[in-house]
Amino acid sequence: MTEHVVIEKSKGILTLTLARSEKKNALTNAMYGRLADALEAAETDPGARVILIRGQGDMFTSGNDVGEFADIAAGGARGEQHVGRFLRALVQSSRPLIAAVQGRAVGIGTTMLLHCDLVVLAENALLSTPFVSLALVPEAASSLLLPLRIGHARAYEMFALGEPVPAAKAFDWGMANRVVPLGRLDEEAGELAGRLAKQPVGALAVTKRLMRRADVLAAQVATESERFAERLKTAEAREAFTAFAERRPPDFMKLAS
């Protein structure tokens, strides 16, 4: 539902709030569409000089809605899938992107941070990328960006084992700019957004282009998306989502290799 993403604009700051706290801010197809629309529109909106992404409630996001993954794995979920638009909009955004993260940031909740120019973590933040545990593969160009950011060994462990990385460690690894008490998260992120909004928007855009090869990232997103779609149709994925629905650990060892 589109009301699950709240869009506000003030003093040059476009704030996108994931507002599905009753479902741990799990991202649905409609939410991806709303986020993509907002990011695309910001490119030509002089009032959107900086974009701040945040989550409502006690966590940033639990990642993609697993029920929608399960529908796709079972052969359902027809119609346009907006996640691709959202990822392309992240890659191509010329605006400074800031994330304010509290609690869990799962899957795309972590990989989208790799596209943010400033990341502020609350002390209780936990970042995780449990794609392999769901029989899937990394997305959002994270298979390229995460090893570049934190090194192959750490990135592989995050992908393959899916264990959460606490805020202090994520900061030490270079995944965030600030770690602050939970009560100061919105204030700190807002202050940074306000400072960036006063900077020359053209210089910020060119600096961002010089630091990031959008064409390379877009190509990586496309390749990952193909592999991701293939993996959703596998017996391993069906077992992962069946186990999730049945609240039991998946048994991948019973499947043929």
Q: Which residues pair with 179 in a beta bridge?
A: 121
- Domains of the chain, by residue range, sit at 2-181
Query: How many CB atoms neighbour CB 153 within 10 A?
Result: 9
Cα separation, 171 vs 30, in Å, equals 32
DSSP 28: P
Residue 76: band (very low, low, confident or very high) from pLDDT cuts 50, 70, 90: low
pLDDT of residue 257: 59
Predicted local confidence at residue 220, as pLDDT: 97
**Entry pTM:** 0.95
Q: Does the pLDDT of residue 162 top 70, yes or no?
A: yes
Query: Could you tell me which of 193, 198, 158 has the C-alpha nearest to residue 178?
Result: 193
pLDDT band, residue 31 (cuts 50/70/90): very high
Question: Which residue type, as a one-letter code, is found at position 111?
Answer: T
At residue 74, the pLDDT reads 66
Strand order of the sheet with strand 165-166? 104-106, 126-128, 165-166
Q: Domain 2-181: state its class.
A: alpha beta
What are 12's two structure tokens? 């040059």
- pLDDT tens for residues 83-109? 999 999 999 999 999 999 999 999 999
Q: Is 8 exposed, middle or buried (0-12, 13-18, 19+ CB in 10 A)?
A: exposed
| Residue 251 structure tokens | 């048994």
